[in-house]
A and B are shown apart, each in its own frame.
Chain A
């Protein structure tokens, strides 16, 4: 027992001071993309190299990037050099509406809090059931990490629970494989109403890399109504935490 206490003293208190203290992202972190408002000339290259067709030229002849499809691989920035698309260090990416994930020059729509009734119900205690439906275990791992003492999810009143019957909502990862459709529907039905659904990662939002495969759907939205979209491949744990707190109205 003394050995445990000694080790505890050595390893110290390591919980991050978030949200009072801002998270420090790695120097090469590719966060919120910014799309150049003017560029179209020469944009065919970056558009063609995008593996998920996240980058496109809109009807207004301007570049637009769908953060819900984006893998944040940065191939487009390599292809377009200084102009076109660049990724910032901004980790806040979650949106409440699918269309808010489409980034056009300069606009930004972060997720608003749930409606008043939902915020009253879930604001101080949100229990979630996680369902992986074709996720590659990266989104799952970076969701799970929120339970470690660095993030200490419990201090925000959010907890992952073992049964959908104990949950207020689902946090879904993966494009939703055909083989998981039934299990996902049944899990959703087992959650008592009112309930929320959170889609984490490019796959869960749009099918990501697997959009168009016969074996998968194009994300959770094909099966269930989604209340919060958290983009990334996978989203950084801070991005996921920001999304969860934002939807509860704890961050503005």
Chain B
């Protein structure tokens, strides 16, 4: 792609902000749509203030095949022609931009708030004329199907289990779901807004709580950015142990999800075993740093805690037993006909839809796609140790479960190999001075998929803007598609098979 509309760069590069091509909005729309049509993927699209009256839109695209990123930018004022009609991957991002910056993407097919907060700059949001009460979650117009025997089911924000809040609106014909609309925002804590102006002593903690079950993933994405911007080289030992922590996080969550899927089917042996084994993985993380979710472990420059030799020996030694327990628990699923009957052909997402809406992570790999940041845009230890992406073609709940199991086995093999050949040396180096007027992008394959952090620094090396894109941001709409023409009773199973983050989305 020798295209002057984009700046191409490698993952981990620090780019001078002045080098990002600024094009007019019509050219920007065409460029992004053409790039996506040629097989690239919209990693993130966000706005940030540029001067008094303008918002700069920045699109970051990934060429997964060649491991190359590209960026383009444009400036808009009060409104601009929406990208979404020509590029469905942009639909959720444009709703975010409209809400944060009071900019209207004209022609967006379903322009609604996603987090229900006041705009970050003076001016009314596209949904609010001066003097009106601001939009509130749960009080909006929903997509409606009209007709005889059509009925509507509303679920949430408070759900039956111990899970985070979100609102689901089903349009049903009998038991069949014609449309599911997912409305989030209940978890919005204002994280992104508080990161601007940093880094400071709270920043790393915001990263660790952006999505608590992805503590290691988000902390790693942030640290990679800090290390790129500060031109710091992280010691090999720390890189390896970060990889071990990331894979332990994946193992804990994949195990929990497989157990929860079994629980939703009412197949209790696997549900009980996996519930316990998930805790075993969390406890291994706790032996490294004291916290079951890995808090305090990943810090800019390396590790915040150095696991001692005994701890590492203990992890290696327990790995075999946990692998045996997990295999025994999970393989019961595939060997039980009544379980397979429930998993197969439920909640199918086609590969074409997965590409069109830009699914990431296990949900994408369950549609036969092989995208995996560890393979396509490796950083840290993943540059040296390859984990082959695990994919399956059927796009159903079974595929999303099976991909998790194959990935888990590969994570165990990775940990075993890495701890067997652990480099010696320091685990942390001092942070460097953050490059001013620069931009950097960091991608990490968290257990849910691609985590993307983007930092734009000002002339003093502070964060002028910081964008966090959790994999859930790409994937929530995938869940809505999976429910089409399914039974309403399939919802819990489909939901678990994606297991997306509410707070990671709402921030």
Sampled A-B contacts (5; CB under 8 Å)? A3-B335, A11-B329, A132-B163, A140-B162, A215-B188
Interface residue count on the A side (C-beta < 8 Å) = 63
> Does A138 sit at the interface, judged by CB under 8 A?
yes
Interchain CA distance A22-B471 in the complex, whole Å: 40
- Contact string against A for B residues 367-402, beta-carbon threshold 8 Å, 1 for contact and 0 otherwise: 000000000000000000000000000000000000
The CB with the most chain B CB atoms within 10 A, among A11, A162, A236, is that of A11
State whether A209 touches B335 (Cβ < 8 A): no
- Contact string against B for A residues 194-223, beta-carbon threshold 8 Å, 1 for contact and 0 otherwise: 000000000000000110011110000000
Q: Tell me the minimal C-beta distance from B171 to chain A in angstroms.
A: 22
State whether A179 touches B185 (Cβ < 8 A): yes
> Does A71 sit at the interface, judged by CB under 8 A?
yes
Beta-carbon nearest neighbor of B214 in chain A: A137
Interchain CA distance A143-B292 in the complex, whole Å: 13
Nearest 9 interchain pairs by C-beta: A138-B212, A28-B290, A136-B212, A162-B160, A148-B275, A215-B190, A26-B286, A136-B209, A144-B162
Name A's B-contacting residues (CB within 8 A): 3-4, 7-8, 10-11, 14, 26-30, 48-52, 71-75, 129-145, 147-150, 160, 162-164, 174-175, 177, 179-180, 183, 187, 209-210, 213-216, 233-234, 236
State whether A142 touches B190 (Cβ < 8 A): no
> Does B318 sit at the interface, judged by CB under 8 A?
no
State whether B162 touches A179 (Cβ < 8 A): no
Residues of B within 8 A of A215 (CB): 117, 188-190
Q: Which of A4, A48, A160, A183 contacts B162 (CB 8 A)?
A: A160
Beta-carbon nearest neighbor of A138 in chain B: B212
Interchain CA distance A196-B128 in the complex, whole Å: 39
Beta-carbon nearest neighbor of A133 in chain B: B165
Q: Tell me the minimal C-beta distance from B311 to chain A in angstroms.
A: 7
Q: Known contacts being A51-B202, A209-B202, is A134 close to B187, with CB within 8 Å?
A: yes
Interchain CA distance A72-B295 in the complex, whole Å: 9
Interchain CA distance A73-B290 in the complex, whole Å: 10
State whether B279 touches A7 (Cβ < 8 A): no
Interchain CA distance A243-B212 in the complex, whole Å: 22
- Contact string against A for B residues 153-193, beta-carbon threshold 8 Å, 1 for contact and 0 otherwise: 00001101111110000000000000000000111111000
Q: Tell me the minimal C-beta distance from A168 to chain B in angstroms.
A: 16
Residues of A within 8 A of B164 (CB): 132, 135, 137, 140
State whether A145 touches B279 (Cβ < 8 A): yes
Beta-carbon nearest neighbor of B206 in chain A: A209
State whether A137 touches B194 (Cβ < 8 A): no
Interchain CA distance A143-B186 in the complex, whole Å: 20
